[in-house]
Amino acid sequence: MSEQARKTAEALEYLTGFGNEHSSEAVPGALPHGRNSPQRAPLGLYAEQLSGSAFTEPRRHNRRSWLYRIRPSAAHPAFTRAGNGALRTAPFTEAVPDPNRLRWNPLPDPAPGTDFLAGLWTLGGNGDATQRTGMAIHLYAANADMTDRVFSDSDGELLIVPERGGLLLRTELGLLSAGPGEVALIPRGVRFRVELLDGEGGAPARGYVCENYGQPFDLPDLGPIGANGLASARDFRAPVAAYEDVERPTEVVNKFCGNLWTATYDHSPLDVVAWHGTHVPYVYDLRRFNVIGSISHDHPDPSIFTVLTSPSDTPGLAGVDFVVFAPRWLVGEDTFRPPYFHRNVMSEYMGLIEGAYDAKAEGFVPGGGSLHNMMSAHGPDRETFDRASAAELKPQKIDDGLAFMFETRWPITATPQAAGAEHLQRGYDDVWEGLQRHFRA
Ligand SMILES: O=C(O)Cc1cc(O)ccc1O
Ligand SMILES: [Fe+2]
């Protein structure tokens, strides 16, 4: 939480493009050419492959990076079990899945000295981490940097959605920064450390995390939209190589099949001097999303707002989609313009990064979230319904908020800590109370 971290974040350089075969070296000559694993890697470095897909997966889905590092990752002491804090992992069996609509206020402020890892709190999820299916929804609230400790998640990739405060992410492949309105992705198994960019002595950094146990997030196909639109591949930014040459005890925390394991290395494992490959962290600015919508009538389904999708083995049926409700114009004629009433076979968790959301007049607040599970009836609250049914339909710019959704094919089971939380809004159902009958036969 230092001026230094802020300056570092401001000066960061990136490589651009989604899914590219990127390469980068922090020291000229560190990257071998023409082969991955020369008899002796340049500059006395160790060569190591990090796989994010099976060796044999189709080229389109194959992910791996080659890392050239000061010490091989294999040189480490044994891991021992650490407490899991408020982190939980699928299968979520501590409580039964609940068909009720649930909504939460933001997490309470954490105790002083809570870093990103200690500040992770699991709301719920689905699937089974050991089967590499499903996802978990976590929130974080942190007021301290991770110092002399790094985290890696063997269970899945982490899509981090900051809501308050910027983050400096020091990863094995280099540095990224992400603030509210941006998202960062840390691939499965990549070690990283989080420093806070804002809020010295003030409000904690907060946000949401989708832990995706399934196939890595990909850009959705565009179908009839054509070759352009939604999130553009060129707007995704990967880090350039940057390494720590630190010979000091560093705690490495590994989340493995739901439990945290810890080992203290005698050096920092963020010691990758050069790398190339496709298994890379990235950031994306949601404000760059090219929003496509109806220019005639009717409210399109929110799949049109998909930023990233984790496909499952059934085409069109995502393990999880990451969807953004970004500023846009509404022009539909003779149309109820806010989200419609609906019951969805998919399960929807929604969060709010700033402002308000057009289906909810109040109660859905930045840092809070709502869960509308499989087949649960939801949509505009009473106030929104009344207002939108009577509104004059001139072109209208929705630009007072940024909301998102994690939408998944499997029902989401809330953790007991989420279902019983102080910040769970009791009486959420009331927002649909008093919807009058208007039927006249
Ligand atoms: O429930 C929600 O607010 C998310 C949502 C938005 C929308 O525009 C249409 C369907 C939908 O589930
Ligand atoms: Fe919905």
What is the complex's ipTM, to 2 decimals?
0.98
Q: How far is the CA of 30 from the centre of ligand 1 (A)?
A: 49
Kindly state if the Cβ of 378 falls inside 6 Å of ligand 1: yes
Other beta carbons within 10 Å of 203: 12
Name the closest-CA residue to atom 7, ligand 1.
339
DSSP state of 339: P
125-183 pLDDT per residue, tens: 999 999 999 999 999 999 999 999 999 999 999 999 999 999 999 999 999 999 999 99
- Closest ligand relative to 360 C-alpha: 1
pLDDT at 390: 96
Displacement of CA 424 from its chain's centroid (Å): 22
Index of the ligand 1 atom closest to the CA of residue 372:
1
Assign domain 3-10+78-268+281-286 to its CATH architecture: Sandwich (2.60)
Q: How far is the CA of 372 from the centre of ligand 2 (A)?
A: 7
Index of the ligand 1 atom closest to the CA of residue 301:
9
How much is the pTM? Answer: 0.98
Indicate the domain borders of the chain: 3-10+78-268+281-286, 289-431
Classify residue 147 as exposed, middle or buried by CB count within 10 Å of its CB (0-12, 13-18, 19+).
Answer: exposed
Where does the pLDDT of residue 340 fall: very low under 50, low under 70, confident under 90, or very high at 90 and above?
Answer: very high
Residue 2 in this model has a pLDDT that exceeds 80 = no
Residue written as tokens 């609230």?
141
Q: How far apart are CA 356 and CA 385, in angstroms?
A: 15
Kindly state if the Cβ of 344 falls inside 6 Å of ligand 1: yes
* Mean pLDDT of the region 258-283: 98
- The mean pLDDT of the chain is 97
Classify residue 25 as exposed, middle or buried by CB count within 10 Å of its CB (0-12, 13-18, 19+).
Answer: buried
Residue 199 in this model has a pLDDT that exceeds 70 = no
pLDDT at 423: 98
Q: How far is the CA of 389 from the centre of ligand 1 (A)?
A: 17
CATH class held by domain 289-431: mainly beta
H or E element, residue 4: helix 3-10
Q: Report the candidate in 384, 381, 385 with the shortest Cα–Cα distance to residue 432.
A: 381
Kindly state if the Cβ of 302 falls inside 6 Å of ligand 1: yes
| Cβ atoms 238, 138 nearer than 8 A | no
Index of the ligand 1 atom closest to the CA of residue 340:
9
Question: SS3 for 170-219, per residue?
Answer: EECCEEEEECCCEEEEECCCCCEEEEECCCCCCCCEEEEEEEECCCCCEC
Q: How far apart are CA 218 and CA 5, in angstroms?
A: 30
Catalytic residue among 138, 299, 372, 438: 299
pLDDT at 200: 58
Kindly state if the Cβ of 359 falls inside 6 Å of ligand 1: yes
- Positive/negative CA dihedral, 200, 206, 207, 211: positive
DSSP state of 249: -
Task: Select, from the ranges 113-127, 196-210, 347-361, the one with the highest average predicted confidence (pLDDT).
Answer: 113-127
| Cβ atoms 411, 347 nearer than 8 A | yes
Q: How far is the CA of 377 from the centre of ligand 2 (A)?
A: 8
Please determine whether the domains at 3-10+78-268+281-286 and 289-431 fall in the same fold group of CATH: yes
Where does the pLDDT of residue 107 fall: very low under 50, low under 70, confident under 90, or very high at 90 and above?
Answer: very high
Which residue(s) pair with 138 in the sheet? 122, 209
- Closest ligand relative to 340 C-alpha: 1
Q: Residue 138 catalytic?
A: no
Q: How far apart are CA 425 and CA 75, in angstroms?
A: 48
